[in-house]
Amino acid sequence: MPRRRRLFRLGIRQKVVLVLLTVLLTALSISGYLVMRDVEQNVLSETDRRGAETADYLARSIAYSVVGYDYHTIQLLLDQVVEAGGVVHARVLSDRGNTMAEVQHPDRANLERVEFQRPIELDGREVGHLEMELSIEPILAQLEQQKTSLIRREVAVIALIALGEFVALSWIIIAPLTRVSRALESNVDENGVILRDIDVHSNDEIGDLAARFNQMRAQLNTANEQLRGRVESADRELREAYERLIQQQKQLESSNAELEVLTRTDPLTGLGNRRAFQEAMEQDIALFRRHGDPASLLILDLDNFKAINDTWGHDTGDRILKSFAALLRTHCRDTDTTCRMGGEEFAVFLRRCDAPGALKTAEKLRQTVAAMEVPTEDGRQQLHVTVSIGLASLSLEEGVTSSKGLCRAADQAMYASKRRGRNRVTNYTTLISEDPLSVNFQGDET
């Protein structure tokens, strides 16, 4: 009977440990659940926000390319976005619902993802539609890592609080436990290692506790050493994770900078695109309106370029376009702005240059292009091309005082060069006097 009673007895040690563990486990479990729920909601919310911002920025960036049906530029932009990471699928639809460009990550089907859809608008008009899917695999991995970290912290907190409460209750409720506390004085070094056994011998629960503690001393020291090793490992992993996060941030900033360059640059020739060209012209046209500073525009269109593509292939055509772009960069001033308007049409904006100076530059370019040689793909033949150039200058008398008016005037002059036999330069001012019926200019738009 005494042995059976001792076996089923709930002593002070059992009661204190049972109550403390029950309260701590319940409180920390609830707290951990609430914390993880808030973290998960915040992370997913931030993911939705960043994904929405990326979709909005991408939709704005490709608006001009969609309007211009520049499939090549749109495809390059989508490839860059997917290669940068995070985005696993992107597709651009025209306003008629036709797919203009599409790219997806090879492992898209195996990845958790969220979808974003944005209209592509230009000047308040919807010109297309963007579909984008963002991978949330990194987010899920981050949440899993945070759960593991939270469990470790809960274990540490439970151990610390249980130890603290146990010592407190011992002092308040169980006076005889002071013998154990005195025996424990100066028995643990700065690393938490128990140096020696508790020298307490009695037949009560205090004696049992001391005896059991002495038996567990070696085990506790081993556990303490392992715990310190895990803490050091966790600290090292945290530093490494922080360094990776900084590196990813730098990569994202670099990708954003590259994307900004792509939105303002023609990917084939390296010249500025129409958007960058229009912005540069607007600044100088404002100076013309304020101070009367001269400026001129050249519209250049390669002659019979479609026949070259049909005969020699698009690769040869691309080499001709690159050679022509390099020629423009070489023979134009550093202050001039060059761009590829689309296809085989280019433009040069000549700052502080009047009509005679622009005509001289245009003739020099025409002659240089006529002398240019581009080898075929097999290198056996040299191809020659010519260019038709239209010239227009800002003028109050002719009503050319805005970027739209200047482009329209130069464009009409270029088409006049085409009609007159190609490989020539036509000045809009001369065209008005020589062939006024061919000019369709209904006033400038400001």
Which residues 6+ apart lie within 8 Å of 39 measured at CB?
Answer: 143, 146
CB 409 within 8 A of CB 441: yes
Q: Which of 253, 344, 363, 373 is catalytic?
A: 344
CB 264 within 8 A of CB 276: yes
86, two tokens = 């995070």
Sign of CA dihedral 428, 433, 434, 440: positive
Phi first, then psi: give them for residue 344, nearest 5 degrees. -100, 20
CB 269 within 8 A of CB 343: no
Which residues 6+ apart lie within 8 Å of 346 measured at CB?
Answer: 271, 299, 300, 301, 324, 325, 328, 338, 339, 340
CA-to-CA separations, 99 to 74, 81, 91, 131, in angstroms, rounded: 11, 17, 7, 11
Find where tokens 């308007």 sit.
341
Length of the chain: 446
Cβ neighbour number for residue 45 with a 10 Å cutoff: 10
The answer to whether residue 126 is catalytic is no
Phi first, then psi: give them for residue 89, nearest 5 degrees. -160, 135
Nearest to residue 287, comparing CAs of 359, 356, 341, 349? 349
State the catalytic residues.
344
